Amino acid sequence: MTNPYGQQQPYGQQQPGYGPPSGGMPAPYGQPAPYGQPAPYGAPGGMPGGGDINAIKDYKGWAIGCIFLFWIIAIFAIMKSNEVNTYKMQGNYAAAADASKSTKTLCLIATIIGGVGCLLSIVWIIFAVVLATSASTYSCYGSYC
């Protein structure tokens, strides 16, 4: 083999600076990392939940249910829930976990606002009914009003 400078290299030897990286080879995708070493980024062992893809929840049912509580925030929660599934399919488990956490936060906010709104509506209806029944009615007979 001839290098760019015209010097011959013995067959089977590599030029200095080339070859496998120092510190050993990283574990191939899908293989567990050797004991005591962190799993490579993007490998199933490096994701939250210890490698179980179902450990990252998408909260889609809760997000859809929030439409009846506070629909403005619920729409964003549904979009974040869809992002969780997209990131899981791409293998980007860190982004999927972040989107899952955002979905849970949005659903919690929509539930609290919707619950308080329902409670205030019930109190307002009770107040209106009590006010309507306690109002006395006057009737006029002839010229006596």
Per-residue model confidence as pLDDT tens digits over 58-112: 899 999 999 999 999 999 999 999 999 999 999 899 999 999 999 999 999 999 9
Determine the average pLDDT of the residues in 26-46.
Answer: 54
Q: What is the per-residue pLDDT across 75-86, written as a single tens digit (0 to 9) for each?
A: 999 999 999 999
39 C-beta neighbours (distance < 10 Å), count: 17
pLDDT score at 19? 59
Q: In Å, how far from its chain's centre is CA 95?
A: 8
- What are residue 8's DSSP bridge partners? 2
Which residue's entry shows tokens 């590599």? 14
92 C-beta neighbours (distance < 10 Å), count: 16
In the chain, what are the domain boundaries? 55-134
pTM of the model: 0.56
**Which pair of tokens denotes residue 85?**
């599934």
Whole-number Cα distances in Å, 104 to 34, 58, 111: 34, 8, 10
Backbone angles phi, psi at 43, to 5 degrees: -80, 150
Question: Using 50, 70 and 90 to split pLDDT, how confident is the model at 51?
Answer: low
**44 touches 51 (CB < 8 A):** yes
